[in-house]
Amino acid sequence: SLYDQVSNHGMETSMMDSVMTASREFFHLPLEEKKKCSNLIDGKHFQVEGYGNDHVRTQDQRLDWSDRLHLTVEPEGGRNLAHWPTHPKSFRDDLHEYALKCKKIKGDILRAMAKILKLDEDCLVNQFNSNAPTFARFNHFPPCPRPDLVLGIKPHADFPALTVLLMDRDVAGLQYLRDGTWYNVPAACDHTLLINIGLTMEIMINGIFTGPVHRVVTNADKERISVAMFYGVDPDHEIGPIAHLLRDEQPARYRKMKAKDLLVAQLEHFSQDRGAQIADACKI
Ligand SMILES: O=C(O)CCC(=O)C(=O)O
Ligand SMILES: [Fe+2]
């Protein structure tokens, strides 16, 4: 898998701190205030975008110990400002500026990856057309009385192509699975950003790099915040291994699938606590 910690990313540390501070201030608002951005329509119908918790699908489903704010950031025309907080006042501008910087980092990483894979430099960048969505997910993990029993986020591989993750500078919690063991990622005290490959990219590059399975553990006395920027492809785009990567001795290992159908499969796996197995389900 490619698990990449970028410390020389060219983003001002002050910008990272501003986004983190704005997120913290938002999550510390009274519930009534946050509910103005709710992900429940009329208080009951779940939609992905907005503020809230897991989508409850079944009675026995295991829920994550977190609340989230999920926003569409790109395409810019697809922003639904009704869900964008107005408190703190700087929130919208901070997110807008941050998204511009992340987009540049995303381009740099995709070009570097294409080079490693001996593809045309823009081959991966070109997988993202003007309809390709970018989502920001703000995660808040409050202190949890029973960290031995409850996870902040269940094991999963990120679904979109690439994730740029801004982590709490003081509190760790993210863990990666490797050969059956969970490994801690330290808190981002030195302003690193963490880059994850997602399932969509794993499929496009035929599993040469894989999307790592990870989870977030809870903490008995400290809250933790993270901000993930997810880069997906156009929902109508058919995802499949890029032809240039295929050889007789290296055939396609994944089925072709529309991005939107893959998303449905992923959501189902996640809510059934099988988030770590989704990649296998896509294999030929
Ligand atoms: O909180 C973290 O460090 C990771 C969050 C995460 O895995 C996600 O939002 O998909
Ligand atoms: Fe994740």
CB of 228 closer than 6 angstroms to any ligand 1 atom? yes
CB of 175 closer than 6 angstroms to any ligand 1 atom? no
CA 212/CA 198 separation, integer angstroms: 8
Residue nearest to atom 9 of ligand 1 (CA): 228
What's the structural domain count of the chain?
Answer: 1
Residue keyed to tokens 């994550």 = 64
Query: Using one digit for the tens of pLDDT, what is the confidence trace for 77-129?
Result: 999 999 999 999 999 999 999 999 999 999 999 999 999 999 999 999 999 99
Q: How confident is the model at residue 2 (pLDDT cuts 50, 70, 90)?
A: low
Query: Domain range holding 231?
Result: 3-281
CB of 174 closer than 6 angstroms to any ligand 1 atom? yes
In the predicted model, is pLDDT for residue 72 greater than 70? yes
Query: Using one digit for the tens of pLDDT, what is the confidence trace for 50-66?
Result: 898 876 666 667 778 99
> Which ligand places an atom closest to the C-alpha of 194?
1
Residue keyed to tokens 């991005």 = 259
CB of 66 closer than 6 angstroms to any ligand 1 atom? no
pTM, to two decimals: 0.93
Query: Using one digit for the tens of pLDDT, what is the confidence trace for 5-54?
Result: 666 677 899 999 999 999 999 999 999 999 888 887 777 777 778 898 87
CB of 9 closer than 6 angstroms to any ligand 1 atom? no
In the predicted model, is pLDDT for residue 249 greater than 90? yes
The CA-CA-CA angle for residues 104, 128, 234, to 5°, reads 130
Ligand 1 atom at minimum distance from 152 CA: 1
Q: At what angle do helices 13-27 and 91-116 cross, to 10 degrees?
A: 130
Q: What pLDDT is stored for residue 45 in this prediction? A: 77
Mean pLDDT of 220-246: 96
Query: Using one digit for the tens of pLDDT, what is the confidence trace for 141-172?
Result: 999 988 888 999 999 999 999 999 999 999 99
Token code pair at residue 24: 């913290």
Q: What pLDDT is stored for residue 57 in this prediction? A: 66
Identify the helix (H) or strand (E) that includes residue 217: strand 214-217
The CA 244 to ligand 1 mean position distance, Å, reads 32
Which residues are CB-contacts of 157 (< 8 A; sequence separation ≥ 6)? 198, 199, 202, 210, 211, 212, 213, 214, 275, 276, 278, 279
Token code pair at residue 103: 């987009």
The counts of H helices and E strands in the chain are 6, 15
Strand partners, 6: 193
Of residues 268 and 170, the one with the higher pLDDT is 170
Provide the mean pLDDT of the chain. 90
> Which ligand places an atom closest to the C-alpha of 157?
2
Quick one: what percent of the chain has pLDDT higher than 70?
94
Of residues 206 and 278, the one with the higher pLDDT is 206
The CA 157 to ligand 2 mean position distance, Å, reads 6
Q: How confident is the model at residue 4 (pLDDT cuts 50, 70, 90)?
A: low
In the predicted model, is pLDDT for residue 3 greater than 90? no
CATH number of the domain bearing residue 187: 2.60.120.330
